Structure 1
Amino acid sequence: MADRSFLDWPFLDDSHRSLGMELDAWCAANLSDDHPHDIDAACRDLVAALGAAGWLRYCVPAAYGGVHEQLDIRSLALIRETLARYSGLADFAFAMQGLGSGTISLLGTEDQKRRYLPDVAAGRKIAAFALTEPESGSDVASMQTTARRTASGYVIDGAKTYISNGGIADYYVLFARTGEAPGAKGVSAFIVDADTAGLAVTERIEVIAPHPLATLTFTDMELPETALLGESGRGFAAAMATLDIFRTTVGAAALGFARRALDEATARVKVRKLGAGTLADNAITQSKLAEMVLDVDTSALLIYRAGWLRDVMGQRNTREAALAKLHATDSAQQVIDKAVQMFGGMGVTVGAPVEALYREVRALRIYEGASEVQKVVIARQHLAQSAN
């Protein structure tokens, strides 16, 4: 069983400790390492199961079926960490319900919140977040999808790609250029139901850790005025506010993968024969295990500090969230690589847990702000603080 001593840290309270233990027991009883052939069906089933068990209630505010009055980053991080230890696909299903509804929770009208959030919490609606474009990834200011104002609302033209839950989502939170100002300041957010005329799923994308991923196109897609989410021209700020919350949880998912890799490697070296002893008796192995333990604990401290700063202190945590995501995702890659090495040939055999972890963790260093972007964020925050 993974180390749970971190639940006693002062960054967490009794509700988090109970959540961690209860979810761990649920995961052990309901999740497996099986690799489903039908990823779409598996994700739909996971969303329904997570909703029925009440875990998706942590993705929305209490007024709309949630647990906390406001989104609690520490709870979201703890859930993602725990799910990721058991199933990368389960973590994905949970994460997208949060990311795909987060902007509505933060900025939606009362009607928008009541129309979407209770169904997200119950697992009745599958959510998605459509920001990335074929020529615009981290550089949101280069966005080309446009939203042209009309007498009755907006007409959308353009494309989005690498959209998680693309093809199975019931709705998308879409970002498009409305042109109030150049660059990132002229972007707005919209809610788009999946059956809206003019929206098409034009490509399903296969990646090394399979999950629903697609390219979407919008051709003369008409939206009513009520589809606008938040203020016109403030879509970039809305996207960043949403990512500020969920970026910490990406690090938490990486931490879950790293904990699982450490557990698998520890169990392996204790029984793998090496000469008269086991691999665990080898000084080089012990050195690698020490490095893995250090990386896991450091990531956990950064992640739950970032959550605590926002949840308890009420402070914006852009710097701390960037630190948590950067370190946790980069170090998880190293922890898992060490685990694969300890398994030898078994470590690269399809179906082995560490082989699956090796594929699962790689994308986390790219999405919701690549590692290179996090370094820019951290440096800019540091320089701004040093000037005061």
Structure 2
Amino acid sequence: MSTSTSHLDWPFFDDAHRSLAREVAQWVSTQSIDHADADAACRSWVKALGAAGFLRYCVPAAQGGALAELDSRALCVLREHLAEHDALADFAFAMQGLGSGAITLAGSEAMKQTWLPKVARGTAIAAFALSEPDAGSDVAAIATTATPTKGGWRLDGRKTWISNGGIADFYCVFARSDAASSGAKGITAFLVPAETKGLTIAERIETVSPHPLATLQFTACEVPDTHRIGAVGDGFKLAMRTLDIFRVSVAAAAVGFARRALRETIARANARAMFGSTLAAQPLAQAIVGDMAADLDAACLLTYRAAWQRDRTPARTTAVAAMAKLTATEHAQTIIDRAVQLHGGLGVRSGHIVERLYRDIRALRIYEGATEVQRLIIGRELLKAAESATRDPRNA
């Protein structure tokens, strides 16, 4: 069974990852930011993470990053330890990477040099604007339009469930640039600074685990062609490539939440008096803790296997990333639910750590591809690979 650090001995990691894990764990243990105002808390976390140098792992070295290329294992190590400490710390870090990921992958050199160093320093807050009222899990249903104009594009439509909505300095927006196309075809990505005329915050959205979230309205929102990210019509592929990188890190955040829940449960079980002994002495409690530990290790193994595989191979790792996110988020939900149960009344007391974790984990089973979508992805990828193998004449 892995403790909070023993999994770092697994062969998925290099010494640099182990050193990074120790560094972020020590740093985050000294940080405390008030959650009373979620917007202010996220701004504070971005600033603090930038000053500490951890946001440098969200961008390549050419634009002020820590490593030559984005490294999934580093992203996962950081998210796991940040999530174990504070969900908003994890959120602030993750959105800097996801929100700027399309620029890293396909932005022009000028765009990269303008925005990515600011992301790394924590002086610009990023956001990823993909989801719409009728296009969440079904990304190909995007209805926001991008109409060509002289020298640029006009964006019209609505994006919703946008993390960092209302506090971001820029948004990576995906819109349909070919009205005649349908499905995944004809979607293009654009960088839209927050102050752009025609972009407004239509609604702020409150959720069970508070963080900046909003609906964006685009009304005759003009952007120059220099703000286009990648080729016209390549937006869907770009969105999927971005999610392939960061989906595994969602699993790592779930591992962090689950690890904190297990730690809190063990401490509570050892301290709580029950039936002339302690909760920890009760066989049923021991069995529940055993299940929690086994589920945690399973989630952790799949998460870092997927991160390692993505770092080591040029091929897309869609299926293993989906397996990691599916397993880690579902197991974390179960682990945290058991933690609440073993805490008894304290587990549902507002403000208690496991009550907070219970709210924090729920969204991870939905965003960046809901659990049901991950199941479809895994099945589709395996069946497609089997079909290709059957058609390969070398297998005849």
TM-score interval, normalised by the smaller of the two chains = over 0.9
Letter of the structure 1 residue corresponding to residue 37 of structure 2: D
Alignment of 1:125-274 (within 5 A): 125-179=124-178, 181-274=181-274
1:37 Cα deviation (Å)? 1.5
Match of 1:121 in 2: 120
1:309/1:315 contact within 8 Å kept: no
Of 366-375 and 173-182, more deviation after overlay is shown by 173-182
Letter of the structure 2 residue corresponding to residue 268 of structure 1: R
In structure 2, runs of 5+ residues without a counterpart are 390-396
Q: Spell out, residue by residue over 1:30-63, the C-alpha distance to the aligned partner (whole angstroms, 9 max, x if none).
A: 136x5x2211111111100000000000000010
Match of 1:26 in 2: 27
Letter of the structure 2 residue corresponding to residue 84 of structure 1: A
Equivalent position SS for 2:62 = helix
Equivalent position SS for 2:258 = helix
1:312 Cα deviation (Å)? 2.0
Q: Spell out, residue by residue over 1:212-245, the C-alpha distance to the aligned partner (whole angstroms, 9 max, x if none).
A: 0000000011110111100100100000000000
| Separation in structure 1 between the aligned mates of residue 27 and residue 345 of structure 2, nearest angstrom | 32
Match of 1:105 in 2: 104
| Separation in structure 1 between the aligned mates of residue 159 and residue 385 of structure 2, nearest angstrom | 36
Of 174-183 and 70-79, more deviation after overlay is shown by 174-183
TM-score normalized by the length of structure 2: 0.96
| Separation in structure 1 between the aligned mates of residue 4 and residue 215 of structure 2, nearest angstrom | 39
1:2 Cα deviation (Å)? 5.3
1:136/1:143 contact within 8 Å kept: yes
Equivalent position SS for 1:221 = strand
| Separation in structure 2 between the aligned mates of residue 181 and residue 78 of structure 1, nearest angstrom | 40
| Separation in structure 1 between the aligned mates of residue 150 and residue 347 of structure 2, nearest angstrom | 60
Equivalent position SS for 2:216 = strand
Match of 2:82 in 1: 83
| Separation in structure 1 between the aligned mates of residue 287 and residue 385 of structure 2, nearest angstrom | 37
Letter of the structure 2 residue corresponding to residue 52 of structure 1: A
Aligned residues: 386
Letter of the structure 2 residue corresponding to residue 269 of structure 1: A
Alignment of 1:325-340 (within 5 A): 325-340=325-340
| Separation in structure 1 between the aligned mates of residue 347 and residue 117 of structure 2, nearest angstrom | 42
Q: How large is the Cα RMSD of the aligned pairs?
A: 1.1
Of 55-64 and 267-276, more deviation after overlay is shown by 267-276
1:2/1:260 contact within 8 Å kept: no
| Separation in structure 1 between the aligned mates of residue 54 and residue 362 of structure 2, nearest angstrom | 26
Letter of the structure 2 residue corresponding to residue 113 of structure 1: K
Match of 1:12 in 2: 13
| Separation in structure 2 between the aligned mates of residue 3 and residue 52 of structure 1, nearest angstrom | 25
Match of 1:278 in 2: 278
| Separation in structure 1 between the aligned mates of residue 96 and residue 16 of structure 2, nearest angstrom | 22
Deviation above 3 Å: which 4+ runs of structure 1?
none
| Separation in structure 2 between the aligned mates of residue 138 and residue 282 of structure 1, nearest angstrom | 43
| Separation in structure 1 between the aligned mates of residue 255 and residue 202 of structure 2, nearest angstrom | 34
| Separation in structure 2 between the aligned mates of residue 142 and residue 319 of structure 1, nearest angstrom | 22
| Separation in structure 2 between the aligned mates of residue 350 and residue 190 of structure 1, nearest angstrom | 41
| Separation in structure 2 between the aligned mates of residue 135 and residue 312 of structure 1, nearest angstrom | 36
Equivalent position SS for 1:155 = strand
1:181/1:233 contact within 8 Å kept: no
| Separation in structure 1 between the aligned mates of residue 370 and residue 144 of structure 2, nearest angstrom | 22
Equivalent position SS for 1:68 = coil
1:156/1:218 contact within 8 Å kept: yes
Match of 1:3 in 2: 4
| Separation in structure 2 between the aligned mates of residue 318 and residue 215 of structure 1, nearest angstrom | 28
Identity across the alignment (%): 55
Letter of the structure 2 residue corresponding to residue 380 of structure 1: R
1:73/1:249 contact within 8 Å kept: yes
In structure 1, runs of 5+ residues without a counterpart are none
Letter of the structure 1 residue corresponding to residue 26 of structure 2: A
Letter of the structure 2 residue corresponding to residue 23 of structure 1: V
Equivalent position SS for 1:185 = coil
